[in-house]
Structure 1
Amino acid sequence: MSTSLAWDERYAGGSFQFGEAPNRYLESLAPRLGQGQGLGQGLGMRALAIGDGEGRNGVWLAERGLETTSLDWSPVGLGKARALAEARGVALATVAADAAGWAYPAEGFDLVAWIFLHLPPEDRAAAAAGVVRTLAPGGLLALECFSPAQHGRRSGGPKIPELLWTRAIAEDLFGGLEVLELLEGTVLLDEGPRHQGHAEVVRGLWRKPV
């Protein structure tokens, strides 16, 4: 079974696997969403949520007034994302594609949210290059992913070690961006049935130079 079909099966039920609320780290960045070059307080800002699954992060960004696109390889997940957006009364564009192979438009977005998207190293590097390319000058990248210290915890994350993130991986992939914050450590997750409890993560915020 392909990975996308596996996620289709996970998303096929009525409940939201990671809840309907946004990722807490992304939510904490709300005061900074208007700090990109030439950006107002969210309005007119273009956002891309990659690996957005059932749309919890993309819909939240749209509720903040951002023109938002959710990208995921599961059409089933994106169907639930569109339904969630409609229920919340916001517009949400969706793209069914592999984050490693999508043609990221140059300077197409002012914010990219990379939340718990775990890819094999080559795919991760390809997606990261696309994200850097698609950020407009002054644009922000927000990331939270599981680190190797998550091994053995039951609060979520992939079981394959090569899919996990370290601070060094993030520094290497996004070395051309300005680091606003970059942390590796323990957080408490409360995000639907699949992300519950203490977890080990890498989280960071970067800005593309003007």
Structure 2
Amino acid sequence: MSDDDDPSAVFEPASWEERYAGDGRVWAGSANPQLEAAAADLTPGTALDMGCGEGGDVLWLAARGWQVTGADFSANGLARAARAAEAAGVAERVEWMRVDARDFDPGERRWDLVTSHYLHPAAGRMAEVLPRLAAAVVPGGHLLVVGHAPTGEHRHADGPQRRAMFFAADIARLLPPGFEVLAAEERARILDHGAGPQHADDAVLFARRTG
């Protein structure tokens, strides 16, 4: 069954294993601009990128001195990311973790920076995922969550994918006590899929754990 037959399949590992099974890149391979802006003034330490896919953000952090854990529920995606890390010469600064964000349990591990970019579990599941990510942040560390807001180009989305989108203020309310919100806002970006530039909005939550 394809994603067209069952739109909710896009939230499951099998859909992404198929997407990452081909030879060509799925994503551009560059870092998310919101990550570049947020991390610019941070001292490199340990970082966790949940839903890392092909590893573009992982590689960017590693190249800047971070020790990074790239996590995803797709084995094919992680294999692509590992090959990219080898090619970029940063493999010694990276470890890979196969895990579904919906089941993620950091245990005793904590990271200085925890990020996720366009990680969209099915509607309602972000209420489970975000506290798991927040629990993985060391006191004094930072959490960055970037997603698709249901505005701009994405206002035309419908069905399960539309319901999985969010506004920054909505996910900021999901933070547990002990976090200071540094930014919770929508930020415009320009997309160009070959048919001319189009406007989209990123929902950006950036927070610091205070205790």
Fold match by TM threshold 0.5: yes
CA deviation after TM superposition for structure 1 residue 46, in Å: 0.9
Aligned to 2:47: 47
* 1:1-210 superposed matches below 5 A: 3-34=12-43, 42=44, 45-91=45-91, 92-106=94-108, 108-149=110-151, 150-152=154-156, 160-174=161-175, 176=177, 177-189=179-191, 197-210=198-211
Gaps of 5+ in 1: 35-41
Report Cα offsets for 1:135-179 as digits up to 9, x if no partner: 0001111121011212227xxx99622211113322211253111
Q: How many residues align?
A: 195
Gaps of 5+ in 2: 2-8
Question: Counterpart of 2:116 in structure 1: which amino acid?
Answer: W
Query: Structure 1 residues 84, 15: CA separation in 2 closer, same or farther (over 3 Å shift)?
Result: same
CA deviation after TM superposition for structure 1 residue 186, in Å: 2.4
Question: Counterpart of 1:118 in structure 2: which amino acid?
Answer: H
CA deviation after TM superposition for structure 1 residue 122, in Å: 4.2
TM-score by length of structure 2 reads: 0.83
Structure 1 Cα separation of the partners of residues 76 and 182 of structure 2: 35
Is the partner of 1:81 in helix, strand or coil? helix
CA deviation after TM superposition for structure 1 residue 81, in Å: 0.4
**Structure 1 stretches of at least 4 aligned residues deviating more than 4 Å after TM superposition:** none
Is the partner of 2:166 in helix, strand or coil? coil
Q: Which has the higher contact order (CA 8 A, sep 6+)?
A: 1
CA contact (8 A) 1:107 1:133 kept: no
Is the partner of 1:102 in helix, strand or coil? coil
Overall identity of the aligned pairs, in %? 30
Question: Counterpart of 1:48 in structure 2: which amino acid?
Answer: L
TM-score by length of structure 1 reads: 0.84
CA contact (8 A) 1:158 1:164 kept: no
Query: Structure 1 residues 101, 75: CA separation in 2 closer, same or farther (over 3 Å shift)?
Result: same
Is the partner of 1:182 in helix, strand or coil? strand
